[in-house]
Amino acid sequence: MSVIWQGVTVARPSIVPIALTLDDRTGYTLWAPPWEEDGEEWQAFLGTTEDDAEAGSTAKVHLFPTPAALAVFCRTSTDHDLADHPVWPVVVGLGAEDLTPDDDHRFDLDGVYDIAAEDPDRWAVEELAATIDIVTRLAECLDTSGVDEDDEDDDGSQFEAVAELAAKPEIGSLGLGVDAFVGRSGEDAWLGVGSVLDDLWEDVVEELNEHFDWTGAGSATLEDYPPASETEDADADDLPDGPTDHEVPVGDDEPAGSTAAPVRTIARGGRISASPDEVAAAGAFWESVGILPVEIVVPGGAGVTLRCYVEDVARFLGRDGEVFLFATPADLARFCRGTENHDLMEIASWPEVADTDVPPLPADQDRYDLTELSEVLSEVADGAAGLVDHRAFAQPVEGVRDLTEYAGLVRVTELLAPTSALGRAVARGETDPQAPLRQEDAATLRGQWDEVVTQVSGALVFRD
């Protein structure tokens, strides 16, 4: 398999479990998102390249019928393209639960037409964009054409349909998010996406499937794959001896010990779980009322609350500048049905919120873990310079700014001002997100960020 240069790197070298569903079966494998090493940028999937005297080189992605089977392979094999990855020694020690993909890393290639047939809400747009993104990444890594410069028979890319799909402006509009599909022109744009998929998607998956190894590197047969229509997830408990208590991050979003799908645990320390269908269904209601569930994680704990915007100013479920946090969606829903006064009661759609049975389940983009950035800055200060870039500030700072606006946190405003070291780092994250954080800056930034978190924590009230 060719490990290819990419224009964007992740904050830290990582290996992410993913699931690919095609032809009503789901295979589990690993993806190493773009990382930087020795001044170069790379990405790869778990696989190998097969050489044939007549057919030439063919790159394959190894797919396994269960996370347990994937874990066994990782512990026993070194003949693959991830063996030299910086965190591979960590992966070797992980068990089936740790190698079960979270909801954001499950890609249903069979379900693309169904998604395109839905209304273009945020979830449909993001899921379709993510699926096409992983398809293009697979094609880039699996394309061995041109690898042998002496091969005069090379007739171009092995993934012409994928390249044609990615080049379509209709597909490019997915990167603009749900705003690209609002109104009459947006409806036409969404229809255009569906039309392109009707024309090209079957060719795309046919090209890819030629490079999918459904034998699990010789350890499985097609009969070992349960039908995807009957089960969303392989059993993560059928690996008797694999360790599952590691807490070393192997992905760029979740800790290795996070709960296996189809139950998704939202943020460390949180007690919120729901199936993907429940999250999507709940999101449709909350989007319609203009009030969204939000999860906040601070050193003192994790909780869920509600947030809306009034004339572009953030407003939370709370009172007098204090934000009410609840340990579970059920606790939050119970409060919403009560009569206690708070700042969201003035919102026109509040009666619908107070009357609904739809649970308040935060979407991924509405989760703000303020503790993780502290850990990242500590790692850089301890010598991980060059592996973390300024994009690390984006998500937590977004949440902090809203909380600061609502709670009137003057000190946080000062710490995020362009005149402070932290403010300059945040500003650079917006203008030059790929710029690496320097070790000599990290200790100062860590101290200022910890002060931000302390200030924000003082505005949070954990309710029963």
- The pLDDT tens digits of the residues spanning 13-65 come to 788 899 999 999 999 999 998 877 666 778 899 999 887 666 677 899 999 99
Q: Which of 409, 394, 398 is nearest to 456 (CA)?
A: 409
Q: What is the mean pLDDT of the chain?
A: 83
Return the beta strands (E) in 264-405 as ranges: 264-265, 273-274, 292-298, 301-310, 313-316, 318-319, 322-326, 367-369
Identify the pLDDT of residue 156: 60
Identify the pLDDT of residue 55: 60
How far is C-alpha 432 from the geometric centre of its chain's CA atoms? Answer: 21
Contacts of 298 (CB under 8 A, 6+ apart): 370, 371, 453, 456, 457, 460
pLDDT band, very low/low/confident/very high, at 146 (cuts 50, 70, 90):
low
- The pLDDT tens digits of the residues spanning 408-433 come to 999 999 999 989 999 999 998 888 88
* Sign of the four-CA dihedral 79, 80, 82, 87: negative
Higher pLDDT, 364 or 129: 129
Identify the pLDDT of residue 53: 61
Distances (CA, A) of 438 to 216, 312, 408, 434, 449: 41, 34, 31, 12, 16
CB atoms within 10 A of CB 87: 17
The answer to whether 178 and 125 have CB atoms below 8 angstroms apart is yes
Identify the pLDDT of residue 432: 85
pLDDT (average), residues 374-383 = 83
pLDDT (average), residues 100-129 = 91
Identify the pLDDT of residue 230: 66
Rounded Cα distance between 355 and 278, Å, is 18
pLDDT (average), residues 196-216 = 94
Half-sphere exposure of 370 (CA within 13 A, CB side): 26
Which structure tokens are listed for 57?
A: 């080189």
Higher pLDDT, 419 or 150: 419
Helix (H) or strand (E) holding 44: strand 40-45
Identify the pLDDT of residue 58: 87
Does the pLDDT of residue 255 top 50, yes or no? no
pLDDT band, very low/low/confident/very high, at 11 (cuts 50, 70, 90):
very low
pLDDT (average), residues 429-448 = 88
Of the chain, the end-to-end C-alpha distance in Å amounts to: 53
Strand partners, 32: 44
Which structure tokens are listed for 219?
A: 């350890």
Distances (CA, A) of 172 to 128, 130, 166, 347: 11, 12, 7, 36
pLDDT band, very low/low/confident/very high, at 102 (cuts 50, 70, 90):
confident
Identify the pLDDT of residue 143: 87
pLDDT (average), residues 360-364 = 90
Rounded Cα distance between 329 and 460, Å, is 17
Q: What's the pTM value of the predicted model, to 2 decimals?
A: 0.53
Identify the pLDDT of residue 386: 61
Q: Which of 403, 397, 399 is nearest to 459 (CA)?
A: 403
pLDDT band, very low/low/confident/very high, at 461 (cuts 50, 70, 90):
very high
User: What are the start-end ranges of the H helices in 240-367?
Assistant: 276-289, 329-336, 350-355
Half-sphere exposure of 431 (CA within 13 A, CB side): 7
Rounded Cα distance between 41 and 234, Å, is 33
Q: Which of 178, 133, 129 is nearest to 31 (CA)?
A: 133
pLDDT (average), residues 128-132 = 94
Distances (CA, A) of 152 to 57, 144, 147: 14, 14, 11
Distances (CA, A) of 242 to 20, 60, 261: 23, 26, 18
Strand partners, 61: 47, 212
Helix (H) or strand (E) holding 25: strand 25-37
The values of phi and psi at residue 12, to 5°, are -135, 150
Q: How many residues does the chain have?
A: 464
Higher pLDDT, 191 or 10: 191
Identify the pLDDT of residue 252: 39
Q: What is the CA radius of gyration of the chain?
A: 23
Rounded Cα distance between 161 and 139, Å, is 10
- The pLDDT tens digits of the residues spanning 380-389 come to 888 766 667 8
